[in-house]
Structure formats: C-alpha cells, structure tokens
Amino acid sequence: MPEFIGQLPKNEPAWNAISSVQSFQRYTQGIHFDCDHNSRLTLTVLSPNLIRVRFSPNGELTPRRSWAVNLPNAEWNIVDFNIQETNELITVETEKIKVCVQRHPCRIMCFDKSGNPFAHDTDLGIGWRKNQIINWKEITIEERFYGFGERSGLLNQRGKCLTNWTTDSLDYTMLTDEMYQAIPFFMSLRPNVGYGLFFNTTFWSQFDVGADQLNTLQLKTQDSQLDYYIIYGPEPATILETYTQLTGRMPLPPRWALGYHQCRWSYDSETEVRELVKQLRNRRIPCDVVHLDIDYMQGFRVFTWNKQRFPNPKKLIEDLKQQGIKVVTIIDPGVKFDPEADYQVCDEGLKNDYFIRRVDGQVFHGYVWPDRAVFPDFMRGKVREWWGNLQHYLTDVGVAGIWNDMNEPALNDRPFGDVGSSKITFPMDAPAGDEEDKTTWKETHNLYGMNMARACYEGLEKLRSQRSFVLTRSGFAGVQCYSAVWTGDNHSKWEYLEMSLPMLCNLGLSGVAFVGADIGGFTGDASPELFARWMQMGMLYPLMRGHSMIQTKRHEPWEFGQEVEDICRKYIELRYQLLPYFYTLFWQAADKGEPILRPLLYHYPNDSQTYELYDQVLIGSDLMAAPIYRPGVEKRMVYLPEGTWYDWWSRELLQGSQHILIDAPLAKMPLFIRAGAIIPLVSVMQYTEELPIDELRLLVAPGTGKFTLYEDDGNTFAYRDGMSSTTQYRVDLEGNQVVVEVGERKGKWIPIERKVIVEVIGFGEQEFIDDGSQRRLVYQ
C-alpha cells in the first residue's frame, strides 16, 4: 500500500514551517531565495502572466523528469521583470502582475495591475514533513473554482477536497473524489480577477478548496518539493491559452471523429455489427463510427480477434468502410499471462522484460478480463514503442481508432468476481521508468493511463498515413496531446445526464477539449424520455458517442419507439449540419487550447450570474444550449447574458441580461444564437464523407461579430505542411442595413467548387460561388 493514500491520519507530526527569507539572488529567469533550515524558494518568470514557484526543504531542486508534462524553463523566451526590495518585501513585477515575497514570515502574494490580490499564501505559507509538503493560500469571499480535470458534481468546486489519484471510479456519484483522470490544475474566478494554478506534481496530491477551513486553499502532495505555476488571466481564455502552452494542445482529430459514434458492450460478432450498420443506414440515423468492446478479442487477449465471431475482420472493416463506417477497437493494458500458449504479445513482453516487476524482481500479476495478467511499463520509451507498434495487428485490418480502457490502472488481486477480490494498483515501491530516470509507481501511478494513450497515439501516427482517433479513460495533465477522453461508467439516470455538462465543462477548462459522456448512460436501462433528452444533450458533446453496458436493455436510437427515434435522428442530423462549425472549434482547441464546450463564465467572466450556471452551455462563442435534464419537464428558465440573442428554432429576437421561461416539449432542446454570430452549416449526410460539400450555408444573426472558418482535408497530416485554409467573415450593422464581409481565403487548401449561401436572420439570403476572394454583401 502507498504510504499516505487518502486522508492523512489526524495524529500526523506537526509541519515544519517555512519561516524567513535570509537572502536572495537574481538570475536570468527569476530569483532564488535562501530561507531558514537551508530551505530554498525559487521564482521563475516564464511569461508576463506565468510564474513558476518551487520550494525545496533541503535546498535542492530535483532535475527535470523525462516524463515531465510541463514545457521546460529553457524553452520560454526571456522575459523582462523588475525587482524591488523593502524591509518587508521583495517584489517581482512583470508587464501583467506583481509577485511579492514577504520576508518574515516568508509568504508569497500576487497582485494584478490594479492591486487586486490573488493566490496569497496565508501566514503559514509552506510546510513540510516526511514525504509531504503543503501550501496554504487564502480564498476571498467571491472566488469560485473550476477545472480540476474530471470532476463529478456541478461546476464550481469550492468547498470540496479534491484528490489527484487516477482510479477506476465506476459507480461514481455527485460526491466521488478520486476519478479516472488526475489533472492537478484549476482556475479561480471572481469579477475582474482570474488566475489558474498548475500543481506540477505527479505524486498523490490534493486540493482542499475551503473544505477543511472555509477560506483556505491547501495544496498537498507526497512529493518532496513544492512546484506550481501561477497563471494570470484574468479571462479564462487567457489562462487556458497559457496553461496549454505549458502542457500541450490536442492535435486535430480526423473529421469523421466529430460524427456520431455507436458503441455497446458488445457488438460481439460480425453478424451483429453488420446488422447494426444496416439498421443505422436503413433508418437514416447518421453515424461515422462503430466501437468494438472487449468481446471481439480471443479470450480477452489484446491484439487478437475471436475467430469464430469475427472470422474475417479485414473484409468486415472493408465492407463497413464502403458504407461510411470506421471501426474503433478497445484495448486494455492487462496482457493475458499465457506463457504456454503461443500468444506473441505476452511472449515478446516477457522476453524483452517490458512488464512491470515488483521490487523483489518478480513479474507483477493482477487480475483483469483475461484473468491473470501482466502490465507493460509505459513509463519506458522502448515499451511505448513496442506497444505503439502492436497496434498494427488492428490497423493492418483497417481499424481507424483505438479506445484505451482500464488504464488507471483497474485491476484486482484475485480473479474477477471471486469472493474477497479487491481493487489494487501496482505496488507503490515497484520500479517504473527507464534506467536513466528510474522511480517507483508512487511517483508515476497518475501517469500510467496517459502514457498508454501516448504509446497508442505515437504508434498509430507511424502506422497510418491518416489521422487516427484515440480515446482514453485515464489520463493526467497533458492527456489532450494524445487522446480524447470520456467520463467512464455513468448511469442511465437523470442525475448523470445533469452532471455530464458541468463535468465536460470542467474537463474543457482543464485543457482537455475533446470529451464526451456515454449518451443514454452506461449502467442501467434508459427510459425513452431520458434517452431522447440525452441525445439532445449528447449532440453538444465534443465526443458524441452512445454506449451501454452488457446485459442492459439495448440503447440504439430505435429501441425506444418511433417518437424517440425521430428525436434522435433530428439531433444527430443537427450535429452533422453543424460540422463545419464544430470542426473550426476543434481547430481553436488545437491552436489555442480553447474548450469546445464552454460554461457561460468562459465568455462572461465578469458576470457573476454565470458562476454557478451549470445547466446552460456555449458551443464555441456563438451557440448556447439550455437542455432539459429532468423527467416530465417541458419548460425551463434560461439565462441570457448581456447582448441580444435569437431563438434557434423560431428565430425570435430576445434581449439579453435577463431570465426567460421557455417551452421545451420532448422534441425540443432550447438553443440560441448570439447576435453577431456567423455559423457555417452543411446539408445532412449519413456520414461525414458521404458527399462532397458543394454548398456551404452561413447563418448570420444580425449584430456585430466575426468568425474565422477553418478548413482542411479532414483526414491526412497535410495540414501540418500548410494544406489548410481560413476565411474570416464579419457582420456589422450600418443604419438599417446588415453588412456581411467575406474575407479573402488564406492558406494553401482549396475547397471544391461550392456555392455559399449567406442567410441573415430576418433579412433573407444571398449567394455566391466561392472563389476565395473578398466580397461584401449588403442586406436591407
């Protein structure tokens, strides 16, 4: 067992406290402070809004780890900063913020340029004891807290104690703490002030956000040093841009991955998969992807196929491709321990010593789906390379994406289902990582899932000439660089529908934009009403996947009667119409780290009405949805932020800065367009590549605004060599006229010849053949 997993015992020894600053020296990128007991504090200025704080009780800073997710200090441009010294304070000032270090007692205080304080240490400052370190900070009355990676419950996380320790949190509830993902990052917001904090520790860590003491934030870790980054905004968008500069951004996924995904545990034979696709196409339910869960394998052996049920996967996948369906297969990290059989994955791993060993040198075993299993050490480069290449067993037959499950890791000490079997993890003292940078799982546990996803992503990038789809259940800060994330085993209950939006929003505010929850709920049977409402909300999820557990009632859209099937079709179709809009949002995520699904506070950070608003969401900056998530409800309140809005369905004009009551019968999800919005739409297709896009429709809401449309081939890596294009559209009001300006298309990628129809709400349509040149359209 780990030394201090979970709450610390009450009778822990007292903390050693950082007391006074003795002296300090400036260096190119910051300042070193020598403190009492030989302890040392270092501030590094990486950007005018980004300061790294490190504290070491014994004065030594460990060198950078090979698996570190933060961009190295050396890769930041040297930034200007001033130092001022008084008897009490040493102040570091950049263009954006001031960080003051008080001498007695030593504590750190930050201020924006108007003098608003943030991220102040309390008088206790920093403390430490054996293998633990803590930092106490003040929380002001108005502050709210968001992000923290994957979190259940609603939006604002203040008042909770949030642990960063990846766990198979099946059956999670509103109150669950440890989740599949561990992302030690948050952002704090109050009117005019916003900052983010990335706690740079891979060890077990915890944020106590005013749970223990109402107005105190505690950062705790089992690391031997304190290492965190202060990221000043004040806008959430600035915080995220900087945070993702530090930890990375998502690569552009293939465009088909933005379509509808159909999944179940399991479509477990070729016949069943073909029948499913036949139903999808006959019923005209658009779909791009079918996922195969664990039963496609031979006895749950990863990288194999069950020959009885899938006699010719290559042929099957080829036939599905003809129908516009891509196949994604699940892979777990546990490799069946099968040395007697001729199972290559196990043999190669054993022969090359790729599996995790206990501290006594024995190969570590755990029990998962294939029964007794061994686990690759994904912290090692060679192992990742080997694993990455193993994906060829799947890509050779045409698989286009991989779904990484159980990688928290989830495993038991005895065969699944045995009496007394309990969840375990790798022994905390077992070695992990390469020889040059060896450690134990105490330090790398949180990184296991992300490094499995990384191995997969890097392997697929080598094996396929097109972009692939990667999905993972577990991850750490930076997981966005390799994979999309889904929120694991939710239930087919209204509470989980309600919780899904804030969960996905908090993931988005943690740098992970490509996220989704299982539509319909994984565990249990959805009612027709729940399913219809879930598909409406699911259409907003960046990853739109329906999934359900084995032995539950089937959850395909046609399983709930004609009315629900029609509702599902309507919302999946809407998703397909909005694809050019969504694709541009994915580009914004890849380019700037922006979330795709955004809580309202993201664009209205000074409007405190948005701070607790978890049941409305913005898709990009211009579309706002207010879904229904309770049974029997056919009306709801909607908050319209400042400005003017239009009802998506009736095109009615609505004044902002007010609450309205809106009708929402079962077939309707309230949806609004911001005045000044320009939303690109295409016609409905049964899959994203069904037809060439020879007609693009721009839906314009009168007002002032702009939108940059991003386009490329949607499939290959040519965009990295500049084969992409952007077009900027602007809308403005001039007297009684609405003027739409189409900018010149920039970039090397040229779309096929197409008609562009520009519809201004209330003013009618105009159209032109898109030759990439500038033009001005006037509406009156």
Residues 206-235 close enough to bind ligand MIG by CB under 6 A: none
Euclidean distance between CA atoms 109 and 99, whole angstroms: 6
- Three-class SS of residue 275? helix
Residues 158-197 close enough to bind ligand MIG by CB under 6 A: none
712 sits near ligand MIG (criterion: CB under 6 A): no
- Count the residues of the shown chain that bind ligand MIG, applying the rule CB under 6 A: 11
Euclidean distance between CA atoms 584 and 589, whole angstroms: 9
Q: Which of 143, 489, 518, 770 is catalytic?
A: 489
Residues 321-350 close enough to bind ligand MIG by CB under 6 A: 330
For ligand MIG, give the closer residue by CB, 526 or 628. Answer: 526
DSSP bridge pairs for 133: 128, 221
Q: Which of 93, 227, 293, 405 is catalytic?
A: 405
Residues 367-406 close enough to bind ligand MIG by CB under 6 A: 405-406
For ligand MIG, give the closer residue by CB, 265 or 581. Answer: 265
For ligand MIG, give the closer residue by CB, 185 or 369. Answer: 369
Q: Which strand (E) or helix (H) includes residue 107?
A: strand 107-112
**Cβ proximity of 672 and 623 under 8 Å:** yes
- Which listed residue (149, 286, 313, 488) binds ligand MIG by CB under 6 A? 488
489 sits near ligand MIG (criterion: CB under 6 A): yes
Residues 400-439 close enough to bind ligand MIG by CB under 6 A: 405-406
Supply the DSSP string of 695-751, one letter for each residue.
Answer: EEEEEE-SSSEEEEEEEE-SSBSGGGGT-EEEEEEEEEEETTEEEEEEPPPBSS--P
Q: For Cα atoms 653, 658, 663, give the angle at the middle one, nearest 5 degrees.
A: 65
Return the residue matching tokens 């900087």.
242
39 secondary structure, DSSP code:
-
**In this structure, what token pair is assigned to residue 594?**
């922006």
Nearest-CA neighbor of 230 among 219, 222, 221, 214? 219
Q: Looking at beta carbons, which residue is closest to ligand MIG?
A: 265
Taking CB under 6 A as the rule, which mask of x and - marks residues 267-306 in contact with ligand MIG? --------------------------xx------------
72 secondary structure, DSSP code:
P
For ligand MIG, give the closer residue by CB, 485 or 671. Answer: 485
What separation, in Å, do the N-terminal and C-terminal C-alpha atoms of the chain show?
72
Shortest CB 294 distance to ligand MIG, Å: 4
Shortest CB 330 distance to ligand MIG, Å: 6
- Which listed residue (265, 296, 646, 729) binds ligand MIG by CB under 6 A? 265
Euclidean distance between CA atoms 377 and 730, whole angstroms: 51
143 sits near ligand MIG (criterion: CB under 6 A): no
Determine phi and psi for 25, rounding to 5 degrees: -135, 140
**Cβ proximity of 150 and 183 under 8 Å:** yes
For ligand MIG, give the closer residue by CB, 276 or 330. Answer: 330
Nearest-CA neighbor of 585 among 540, 638, 615? 540
Residues 522-551 close enough to bind ligand MIG by CB under 6 A: 522, 547
For ligand MIG, give the closer residue by CB, 268 or 458. Answer: 268
Shortest CB 50 distance to ligand MIG, Å: 36
Overall residue count recorded for the chain in this entry: 780
Shortest CB 405 distance to ligand MIG, Å: 5
Return the residue matching tokens 């994979």.
483
For ligand MIG, give the closer residue by CB, 518 or 573. Answer: 518
**In this structure, what token pair is assigned to residue 666?**
């079962």
Please say if 489 is a catalytic residue: yes
**How far out from the chain centre does Cα 760 lie?**
34
Q: Which of 93, 270, 288, 408 is catalytic?
A: 408
For ligand MIG, give the closer residue by CB, 150 or 405. Answer: 405
Active-site residues, by number, are: 405, 408, 489
> Contact positions toward ligand MIG, by CB under 6 A?
265, 293-294, 330, 405-406, 473, 488-489, 522, 547
